[in-house]
Amino acid sequence: MSMVEEIAEKFEKAMKKGFISTLILLVLEREQMHGRQIKSAIEERTFGVWTPTDSTIYTILKDLREKGLIQQQNMDEKVIIYEITDDGKNTLKIMMKKEQEIRESIRSIITTTFGFKDELMDTDAKNFLNPGSFFSKMFTNPENQTLKVLNFQRVFMKKKVEVLNKMLQSIEDKISKLEKETPNENIL
């Protein structure tokens, strides 16, 4: 593995850890839970997109506990219940604000890269990309967000297919042009 790949992998792991940490704090802000309940809540609220392993959940719970963002209560020898602390709530507010800023930057990149224009998006997609934390949208009322998330994904994928089809057509045109210029050579 090259040094660049190692750096990219470390960056990806840090992003995933931050994402799951935020989700755990959001879950615990709503109610106290044990580890498997937290994992199930994350899977449910992310529509199965995020299915963290048990080891990931418990590693992050340990890290959050060591940082004083959550605390644990032993209900009995086998069940540990986690709850968010005041420091955890304050950290979560900051994380939500940062997430919104990052999402706005990503939104700008996506709309520019994939050629989205506001008039091309339906209302659900616009609402989904508008300011407000993606996390808070998923966790405030996830049942009402499912349709919005799926509609956004549909619009996004259709636009992505459209852009890819244009790129493919451009490649096809270049191949056709090159084949006409050099008809006797086998390229493949």
Task: Provide the residue ranges of all domains of the chain, joining segments of one domain with +.
Answer: 3-167
Distance CA 66, CA 33 (A): 18
Distance CA 21, CA 30 (A): 15
All residues at 6 or more sequence positions from 16 whose CB lies less than 8 Å from its CB, including other chains: none
Distance CA 101, CA 133 (A): 9
Fold of 3-167: Arc Repressor Mutant, subunit A (1.10.10)
**pTM (global) more than 0.75:** no
- pLDDT per residue as tens digits for the range 62-83: 999 999 999 998 777 788 999 9
- What average pLDDT score do residues 132-137 get? 52
